[in-house]
Amino acid sequence: MAMDALPRVLVLHGPNLNMLGQREPQIYGHTTLADINAMLVALGRELGVEVETFQSNHEGELVGKIQAARGHMAAVLINGGAYTHTSVAILDALLAVDLPVIEVHLSNLYKREEFRHHSYIARAAVGQICGFGADSYLLGLRAAVAIIQRKQ
Ligand code: CA2
């Protein structure tokens, strides 16, 4: 008997997030990106979704990955890094792909510099989770799964 494929969640990490755990631990914590990805894959398994992770320091690569998600992914979880505050291209890709988007950030954007208070990604997102460190991603994945299950 053919098994139904699990819904897939695409997790995108923007620029500089590959340095997590190596610099500025007072802001971003000691957890590495590999740790976060492993926790997301494990939680996804528990919750019945397949998690695919991707990090890039290049805006166009992130746009390409978002475009390719259409028809293959059930939701997109994104920490756009600094592109959050600058990228209309990422916003347009997220709007075009027509999937539930959950925006996450390690730090609390609203306690930081004014320029971090505006997110282009927020316009395409169901919601935003920020300020909980690595747990922001795990909470975001739970939110994505709740949305996917409601649709099934
Ligand atoms: O809090 C977040 O998750 C951010 O998306 C992180 C971005 C920042 O530009 C956003 O305003 C908020 C920066 C990611 C840089 O990550 C680093 C990790 C370790 C060392 C240096 C930077």
Q: What is the mean pLDDT of the chain?
A: 96
Q: Please tell me the distance between residue 20's alpha carbon and the centre of ligand 1 in angstroms.
A: 8
User: pTM for the complete prediction?
Assistant: 0.96
Task: Say if 16 falls within a structural domain.
Answer: yes
Look at residue 132 and tell me if it is in a domain.
yes
Give the atom of ligand 1 at the shortest distance from the alpha carbon of 23: 20
Q: Does pLDDT of 1 surpass 60?
A: no
**Residue 127 within a domain:** yes
Q: Is the pLDDT of residue 123 over 70?
A: yes
Number of domains in the chain: 1
Which helix (DSSP H) or strand (DSSP E) does residue 33 occupy?
Answer: helix 33-47
* Inside any domain, residue 1: no
Residue 3 lies in a domain: no
Q: What is the CATH number of the domain that holds 106?
A: 3.40.50.9100
Instruction: List, in order, residues 6 or more apart from 90 with CB less than 8 Å away.
Output: 59, 62, 63, 66, 78, 80, 83, 120, 121
Q: Which atom of ligand 1 is nearest to the CA of 21?
A: 19
In a domain, 58, yes or no: yes
In a domain, 136, yes or no: yes
Rounded to the nearest angstrom, the distance between the alpha carbon of 36 and the centre of ligand 1 is 14
Give residue 2's pLDDT band: very low, low, confident or very high (50, 70, 90): low
Q: Which domain holds residue 103?
A: 8-151
Ligand 1 atom with least separation from CA of 108: 1
Quickly state the pLDDT bin for 3 (edges 50, 70, 90): low
For ligand 1, residues with CB inside 6 Å are 16-17, 19-20, 23-24, 28, 79, 81-82, 84, 105-107, 116
2 lies in a domain? no
